[in-house]
Amino acid sequence: MTLIECVPNFSEGRRVEIVDEVVATIAAVDGVAMLDRQSDAVHNRSVITFAGQDAAVAEGAFRGVQVAARLIDLTKHEGAHPRMGAADVVPFVPLKAEDMPACIAVAHAVGARVARELGVPVFFYEEAARREERRNLAAVREGQFEGLREAIRTDAARAPDEGDPAVHPTAGATAVGARAALIAYNIDLASRDLGLARDIARSIRERDGGLPKVKALGLALDDCVQVSMNLTDYRVTSMQAVYAAVQVRAVQAGVEIRRSEVVGLVPQDALVALTRAALKATDFSVAQVLEARILETLV
């Protein structure tokens, strides 16, 4: 048995009763520890974080996808965040690097079950990818629900890894993966210029020659624009580094940063590193974190 984390993203951030049902269904699985839930109405998306032994987490993930497929209709869904499924992405995350093979095995088992029992086609991404070109989630989700609905039927390169080459009529398709812990980090600009947000995102993301281990999109919110990022290895590129990079580019355009936000949970080491950099406290360590020392001493 292996202790792992799961961080599924569901395409519902406005109807709290639906998110409540998804969360309650996952939490009801024996052995699952619910860690966090966050919903965003503009993105129309919820991120749920839970952990436990691999078998319990696998069951919790499947039941969460099952409820989402029943309650979320993508033909009526709209939001700022790209999506292709009611349960859009279901990543399994090892708490120890050596446990990645266990997460890959769980991802493949859950994905096969989702396709078989729910009729939702599944694409495997990141470490669970069966094809190298599908490691990148953005490539898997290209075209979103509406574009994939046609492409999956007509383009052999877009055929799912599990299930029939047809999206579920209302639940779409699901990306199931295994990956290291990442930080979902967003920066809102005091501007409505979507082109600016997209230009900044393009300039800082790795695939366009920007910062390593950074994925970024420019999104339009209700009253501003956002640079939405995933830091896939915070040890390589930190929150402080991407904030500084966005700030430089925003200032050059005569725009201020309105706010930033962390979505979901972040590793403790990332916050220790942030403290070192922001305060120039070069000797600061996790040993100086009160709760960490208490847990180390008493547990």
Going by DSSP bridges, is the β-strand pair 87-94/174-178 parallel, antiparallel, or unpaired? parallel
Please give the distance of CA 197 from its chain centroid, rounded to a whole number.
Answer: 20
The CA distances from residue 165 to 130, 142, 253, in Å, are 16, 16, 45
Tell me which long-range contacts 71-75 makes (C-beta under 8 A, separation of at least 24): 71/12, 71/18, 71/21, 71/22, 72/10, 72/11, 72/12, 72/18, 72/170, 72/171, 73/170, 73/171, 74/11, 74/145, 74/170, 74/171, 74/172, 75/169, 75/170
Which of 28, 33, 3 is CA-nearest to residue 93? 3
**In whole angstroms, what is the distance from residue 142 CA to residue 243 CA?**
27
Q: Which positions ≥6 away from 296 have C-beta within 8 Å?
A: none
Catalytic residue among 43, 77, 81, 108: 81
CB atoms within 10 A of CB 82: 19
Which of 93, 112, 105, 111 is CA-nearest to residue 49? 93
Annotated active-site residue 168? The verdict is no
Q: Return the active site residues.
A: 81
